[in-house]
Chain A
């Protein structure tokens, strides 16, 4: 019997560019052409000034650990507890939920404000998920 799978995102027309980017190894954000506000999650207008003139750009992929929990129970399908559910603040401003890889899932190893960089995990041939790991150097 197949292992239970982690929840698979299903893109919508407004978010497709994000998932296409992840598959291509890019973390894509949006910036308002009118007021320069950078925002996430994706939508075809600026949530700060309501302009519909917005652009997609490749983000630096750098950020820091804003907060997290280490989930013990109940565990989501496809996850082996304990595992951290983190919120990363990107250098461009927006925050996103993520997981932290290449790092022990412990309070000692997961220090708030530690620098992180994006990595990509292919879930299947359609969906690649951005995750983060401690920044090198």
Chain B
């Protein structure tokens, strides 16, 4: 795909984030969509392309009154929205549609109008993982981490520092759920969830949503907001079974999607001003820094513990506070994208000065899928 041919011209989250007991999941989609449409200065009738995950496109389009000529229901977990951005950019470039709306919403905490996740007993996961006591992401996502730690000499303190640094970013963000400072000792003394991970190393569980609007870069200059261009994109999937990853020392999906996006953008790691790595759990930024090629995996723990990703550090990472401290409705990828767009617009609560390139890297499932988007505010 050619770089900088498509731009984000509308971006918004739901009016409320956190605990939203007065709206169904479907209404949260609509709330985010209407906010993004207002942000872009558009009417619903201007939308001719639509993408969403978990909910079907027909469900959300009908509810909103959208009549699309292009839809994408790719649903590969929390990075689905990175894949939607990639697919939408290709569709706009191919002339299949002009203005794409991407929505995410999840009543992850209040569970209103949200189907419970279940594992069929005759699926491969139901036969070969569920009988061994996996029960939700905290019991599955951290399974690779002890091997990763042993291979690369990563310490418990370094993994705790991920949560500490992200709380520093969250403290600057009025919309973050958790803003009180924490220490490595606080993290290592918090309630055990699934050894080696404790409560403060696991993502929040909240309600919320977000939406993006994309159009061609040529049209983007006529919109009220500063355009944020799609510079590079990548995607991949590996396996729905965490036990069947090729290795626990890296994520194959990360190692495919990330370098694809860097290559397409034509950038090196030193060009990156701002970075988002989907942090459902504290080990993901370490996997991401290594798999995206920022540094050898051995150095990732020390890099974060030494403060390189904290406010004022040389590689600002997860500047909204991340899934650990900002919010996490279950499929956090949309919120990472929203933060990248805010940083490129120059309006983030914890703005990185003069940032021109933002990399936004997402995970779906338990390392099951991945999507990476490189944004820029310069064309």
Residue of A nearest to B243 (CB): A97
Residue of A nearest to B120 (CB): A10
B139 and A69 contact, CB distance less than 8 A: yes
A7 and B248 contact, CB distance less than 8 A: no
A16 to B132, CA, bound (A): 18
Interface size band for B:
35 or more
A97 and B132 contact, CB distance less than 8 A: yes
Per-residue contact bits, chain A 1-28, to B (CB 8 Å; 1 contact, 0 not) = 0000011111110010001000000000
Chain B hits for A40, CB < 8 A: 128, 244
A49 touches B (CB below 8 Å) = no
Given that A10-B122, A69-B196 are contacting pairs, would A85 and B128 also be in contact in the complex, using a CB cutoff of 8 Å?
Answer: no
B135 touches A (CB below 8 Å) = yes
A74 touches B (CB below 8 Å) = yes
Residue of A nearest to B142 (CB): A69
Given that A66-B248, A70-B195, A72-B194 are contacting pairs, would A10 and B133 also be in contact in the complex, using a CB cutoff of 8 Å?
Answer: no
Chain B hits for A7, CB < 8 A: 119, 121, 126, 130-131
A72 and B192 contact, CB distance less than 8 A: yes
B193 touches A (CB below 8 Å) = yes
A85 and B131 contact, CB distance less than 8 A: no
B134 and A41 contact, CB distance less than 8 A: no
Given that A11-B127, A69-B195, A70-B195 are contacting pairs, would A76 and B145 also be in contact in the complex, using a CB cutoff of 8 Å?
Answer: no
User: Knowing that A7-B121, A85-B139 are A-B contacts, what are 6 other residue pairs whose CB atoms are under 8 Å apart, sorted by A's residue number?
Assistant: A8-B121, A40-B244, A73-B192, A85-B140, A112-B146, A129-B132
Chain A residues packing against B (C-beta within 8 Å): 6-12, 15, 19, 40-41, 66-79, 82-83, 85-87, 95-99, 107, 112, 123, 129
